[in-house]
Every structure is written in structure tokens, then in C-alpha cells.
Amino acid sequence: MTLIINNDDVAKLLTMEMTIDALEGSYRQLVTKHAVCRPRIDIRIPTSDPAKNYQWGSMEGGSTSGYFAVRMKSDVVYETRYEGVVTQEKYCTKPGLYCGLIFLTSIENGEPLAFINDGILQHMRVGGDGGIGVKYMANEDAEVVGMLGSGGMSRTHMEAFTYVRKIKKLQVFSPTKANREKFGAEMAAQYGIEVKVCSSPEEIYRGAHIVAALTDSAIPVTDGSLLEKGTHLVNIGGSGNPDAESLKRVDSYLRFGDAPSPVGRPEFNLDDENIAWEAAPDVAKHGDGRPGKHRARGTLLPDKRVTLAQIVSGEKKGRTSADQITYSERGNLQGAQFFAVAGKVYEAAKARGLGRDIPTEWFLQDIRD
């Protein structure tokens, strides 16, 4: 039988400990070449509404440990402005609904094992990356988090930060007062920490040891001039990159790694976060990895770069002094995340009897393709 595993099931099954363990394991397998993935690929097509475009995104990977997965997203993408901030929005069929699926298979016999809604898993794997960056780059005594954003990604990042460090205080700002106040109260209750709900973004930097920008803004929201000595920076969202001043001030940059090039084609090696093809390429579009309509984020600071493999092996250190400002990001390894984390979810669902069974033969045929 093939399992259908929805977000409610994933929320019951997947812990941050499982997520970080799965991610670190897959990144190590990439280094030893027992796992493989490709960069994310997007396809963009104009819709009948000139303010919106269709975007299909996919990423995939697998390993000798037994699983392969492809993560697929079907979105209509547009931008909107709220209180002076440009945000990237998306939906499937209508606002508030989304289509993101993970298709998990067995590498041993090709069997379709599961279809998994990607909502909770997506937030967990991104939060897990933030936690891995803090684990290897933040000062050991880092205990104050300054956060921009109060949505789902903020929740999983707090879960990851509290897993890898003894967090004592959160300073949070997001544009909607009710949202930031609700989030702050939730975090104080969940983790037993002091929370300051800030009335301006500048406040989150004061005394922060970890600064996390976790928004859907279409432009950079960080302010590098406010980063204090010893800060570790995490940044996700539509903008792709931190602001130029933040990058200028970074002393050490952890990029987990890069997807390998195709066999026999080293010239196709790319460090882009995602690459895209477009119908009607001369028509203006919105979408992930499109700040300034340039290439999606690649290696940002090559002269300051260290990889996860180098830190784990002892070849290099993440930070060399407590005063250094550090920054971490995954690289273009998304495909390696989904087989690893989805595999853990599938095993846990089987063990606990969660998910909905559907006949595997529905996906099989006796006509060779």
C-alpha cells in the first residue's frame, strides 16, 4: 500500500531532533557521494492576469540508504504591498490554499511509498537548517534571539534554536501588531523564556546573539549597520539574501554545500539556489530567486566561505573569535533534504499506523514506458 500523509499526521510525527538528525545525515552522505540531488528548477508561465504568473517548482534527491523523493509545488505568484513592505504571495486555486507535495519512493524496487503534504515538513526542514547554522557558527553562550517575522517559519526556527542553544530571550518584530503579540505570548509560554515584542524592527538587534530574518518580503529586510559583534545571522524569504551591509560585515560564512554536477558534465555545475525556464521570457514575472531579475543566490562570500564538511572534519573552524559576525545558509541542497526528512516521517507513520492507505497498484501499469 502507498501512504497519503497529511500535515496533521506530519505534525504528530516529526520532531526537530528528527529533522536536524536527518538533514545532517543527508549532507554527510552528499560529501561521501552516497547521496545525490540537483538544484531546484522552476518553470514560469504568464497567466491571463498580467499581475500574476504560474510557477512550477521541483527539487529531488535520494541516497543509498533507501529513499528517493521529489518535492513539487504548483503556485500562482504575485506581489503585494503592506505597510510599505513588498511581499511575495502565492496560492493554488484560490488565496489561502497551496499545493506542495512530496513523492517518496524506494530505491530498491521503485515502489511508490508515500505522498506527503509538504507544509509542516517544509517549515521544519528550513527551521532545521537555521538550527544547524546556529549549532556550528553561533557562540556557545548565545541566548538572545532577535527575530523579524512571526509566522510558521518563525515558530520552527525558535524550535530549532532552543534545541541547539539555551535560549533565554526573544525580541520579535513583524508588521502586524496582533500577529507579533500573539507569537510572542506563544513563545514565552512554550519555552519559558523572556519575550520582548518590539514596536520597530531596529529594536530586535539590541543585545541579540542570533538575528533571524524570517519573512516573505520580496526585498531584503535586514539592516547590517545594526548587527552587533558576535552575532550570527540567519535569513530566509522572498528576498533571498541579507542586505549588502550585512554581507559586508560578515566575517565567516557557512554554506552547507553545493549540489554535484551531472556525471561527466562538470561544466554544468551550478551554485544557484534555483534555476528557471520561462514561457514568454520578455514578460515581467514574479517568483522565487528573482531579486533584481538576476541569477538566484549562489555563493555569496567565496573568500569567507566554509562548508559543513570542513567544519565537521576539523579542516576549518566556523568562527575563530567570539566577536566575529557569522552567517549561514544551506546552499542548493534542497533535494537532499526531502528524501531524508520524508523518509523519517514515512517510517514513523508506518510504526504508529498514521496516514491513509491507497492501493499501490493504482500507480502501476503493465505497459512499458
pLDDT digits (tens, 9 = 90+) for 106-133: 999 999 999 999 999 999 999 999 999 9
CATH code for the domain in which residue 233 is found: 3.40.50.720
Q: Is 360 inside any structural domain?
A: no
Judge whether 127 and 153 are in contact, CB under 8 Å.
Answer: yes
Nearest of 123, 132, 72 to residue 101 by alpha carbon: 72
Rounded average pLDDT over 35-44 = 95
Determine which of 88-92, 98-102, 237-241, 360-364 has the lowest per-residue pLDDT on average: 237-241
How confident is the model at residue 186, as a pLDDT?
A: 97
pLDDT at 296 over 60: no
Better-predicted residue by pLDDT, 219 or 309? 309
Q: Is 24 inside any structural domain?
A: no
Judge whether 44 and 53 are in contact, CB under 8 Å.
Answer: yes
Q: Is 208 inside any structural domain?
A: yes
Q: Is 316 inside any structural domain?
A: yes
Residue 218's contacts (CB-CB under 8 Å, 6 or more residues apart) are: 79, 86, 87, 88, 238, 239, 286, 291
Which pairing describes strands 67-82 and 85-91: parallel, antiparallel, or unpaired? Answer: antiparallel
Q: Is 107 inside any structural domain?
A: no
Q: Half-sphere exposure of residue 293, counting CA atoms within 13 Å on the CB side?
A: 7
The range of the structural domain enclosing residue 194 comes to 138-257+296-331
Q: Is 231 inside any structural domain?
A: yes
Q: Is 86 inside any structural domain?
A: no
- The total of structural domains in the chain comes to 1
Rounded average pLDDT over 18-24 = 98
Angstrom distance (rounded) from CA 95 to CA 83: 20
Q: Is 12 inside any structural domain?
A: no
Return the beta strands (E) in the chain as ranges. Answer: 2-5, 35-37, 40-46, 53-63, 67-82, 85-91, 99-106, 112-117, 144-148, 169-173, 194-197, 210-214, 232-236, 252-257, 274-278, 305-306, 326-331, 356-358
Residue 64's contacts (CB-CB under 8 Å, 6 or more residues apart) are: 29, 34, 35, 107
pLDDT at 240 over 60: yes
Neighbours of 98 (CB within 10 A): 16
